Amino acid sequence: MDKIKPIDQIPALVRALYQIVAELQALFPDRPFTPDGHLVGSLGEVIAVHNYNLLLLPPSSEGHDALTEDGRRVEIKISQGSSIALRAKPEHLLVLKLLGDGTTEEVYNGPGHEPWDHAYKMQKNGQRPIPLSKLRVLMSSVPEEKRVTKKLEQAALLDRR
């Protein structure tokens, strides 16, 4: 009998979280109950580490969240909305969109200089926002060899050898 892995439980837990949010908003329609901040960021990090075979750095590591097997530093961002914000130019940027069913969509996976160069000017909070729509456009020109490979893609490549 296969044991359920923690990563496999995330979609159901996120669906339950959104159900609770919907119930709170129905009870208190004048208050937002959007899951954000550390909760969503940490979800993005554990999903990315699992799906892309990354090594997670300690929380609040400056500038980057994880390392690839070949030593590239990766900033992981996840959004439920229409943009993300950058505090510094990352070496590599991986942006995911958290969907209501608990799954994620890869929005950007490539060198960090392009999104940094196309982000809006620095805001008073020290962040430079960039829309997911712009990241999708930038992603279309990222060559495969510049992306962090997903575990499933790695397995498929090994099977072809």
What is the separation, in whole angstroms, between the first and last Cα of the chain? Answer: 30
pLDDT along the chain (161 residues), means of 10: 82 92 92 83 92 90 90 95 96 95 94 98 96 98 95 54 47
* Cβ–Cβ < 8 Å for 85, 129: yes
Strand-pair partners of 84: 130
Whole-model pTM: value is: 0.85
Q: How far apart are CA 100 and CA 98, in angstroms?
A: 7
What is the tens place of the pLDDT at every residue in 133-161? Answer: 999 999 999 999 999 999 865 444 445 44
**Cα–Cα distance measured from residue 92 to residue 74, given in angstroms and rounded to the nearest whole number:** 5
